[in-house]
Amino acid sequence: TQLLEQSPQFLSIQEGENLTVYCNSSSVFSSLQWYRQEPGEGPVLLVTVVTGGEVKKLKRLTFQFGDARKDSSLHITAAQPGDTGLYLCAGEEETSGSRLTFGEGTQLTVNP
Amino acid sequence: GAGVSQSPSNKVTEKGKDVELRCDPISGHTALYWYRQSLGQGLEFLIYFQGNSAPDKSGLPSDRFSAERTGGSVSTLTIQRTQQEDSAVYLCASSQPTGGVSPLHFGNGTRLTVT
């Protein structure tokens, strides 16, 4: 059983479209991070959310942490080909200390 | 460089052979993680080192896998008697816990292929 479920697993859209990626769990997290990974490279941190209900914006990316701190979403407005990559959510469970558990990822392809 | 360095970047080995993967974390980072990633998939936790504390080995898939961290810096992940299912990208990450949330800084990984 995957602790963090991401959906959709694959997403292919046209440049200019909006999209939302979801990260869900039955566990409570003290914090949740979103990473983006390109082929041949390690994941790179995009944002960290720590407070239930928190919303953070990073240019065209909007991240939300659920009120109960069990889920999160990533919304991209007017997607661009440069947004293509594997988006991973990672949670720090309240009971597991500093160990980060990753979701399976959403592979996003933005076509020009 | 200032980032996490992993070597080799690619490793092809025959089934049954042992392999060693190396990770040089960012200087001063006390936490070091190893993850495994199959093609296009998420990251599977393997092992976590934090300072001088006993490592969290709960993610190691079998006793063929082991890791050590010497002097609180460089880490080596060893896979003995490799199997084809061990083929994956092995990612190392380091962080500097500050009492709050600490982002992980990843290396570019070692792509292991067992033939």
Asked if B101 lies within 8 A of A99 by C-beta distance, the reply is no
Asked if A99 lies within 8 A of B48 by C-beta distance, the reply is yes
Which of A40, A50, A104 comes nearest B42 by C-beta?
Answer: A104
Query: Looking only at Cα atoms, what is the longest distance across chain B?
Result: 44
**Chain B residues close to A40, C-beta within 8 Å:** 108
Q: Does pLDDT of A96 surpass 80?
A: no
Q: What is the pLDDT of residue A84?
A: 96
Could you tell me the pLDDT band of residue A1, with boundaries at 50, 70 and 90? Answer: low
Could you tell me the pLDDT band of residue A109, with boundaries at 50, 70 and 90? Answer: very high
User: DSSP characters for B20-85?
Assistant: EEEEEPPTT--EEEEEEE-TT--EEEEEEEETTSPPB-TT--STTEEEEEGGGS-EEEEE-S--GG
pLDDT tens for each residue of A31-66: 899 999 998 999 999 999 999 999 999 999 999 999
Q: What is the pLDDT of residue B1?
A: 54
Return averaged pLDDT per consecutive 10 residues of chain B, 115 residues in all: 90 98 94 90 90 90 95 93 97 83 91 97
